[in-house]
Amino acid sequence: MKQAPVSPAPSRDGDALFEELCRALLTAPTPDAMARLLTDLCTPQEIRTLAERWHVARLLDGSDLSYRDIHDATGVSTTTIVRVARFLRQEKNGGYRAAIDRLKDQDSAD
């Protein structure tokens, strides 16, 4: 028998809140469901910022464009482009890399 969900207790623990957010994001079964969740969760500017970072990561991975070319084409600041490039290529998190690779795998399976 399924247990009733436990009501969350107020918390200031940033790590626990982040983990809870990650779990919530993983509940979206479709891109449409994710769009609805992000629209509720984020301001339009926050969504645009996230989308721009993702777009920059894809451009850095899939093209030979310079940072300046990406800035000129997208309007994204060079500071943001450098940050995305660092996280894509150097940081241990590997989030951009894993997501890009999963999308490539999905595209090749279609």
pTM of the model: 0.86
Give the dihedral sign, CA 56/58/60/66: negative
Q: What six digits make up the tokens of 88? A: 């894509």
On whether the CB atoms of residues 96 and 87 are closer than 8 A, the answer is: yes
Give the residue ranges of the chain where pLDDT is below 50: none
- Predicted pLDDT of residue 15: 96
pLDDT single digits (tens) 63-93: 999 999 999 999 999 999 999 999 999 999 9
On whether the CB atoms of residues 58 and 100 are closer than 8 A, the answer is: yes
Domain boundaries, the chain: 12-41, 44-109
CA 86 from chain center: how many Å? 15
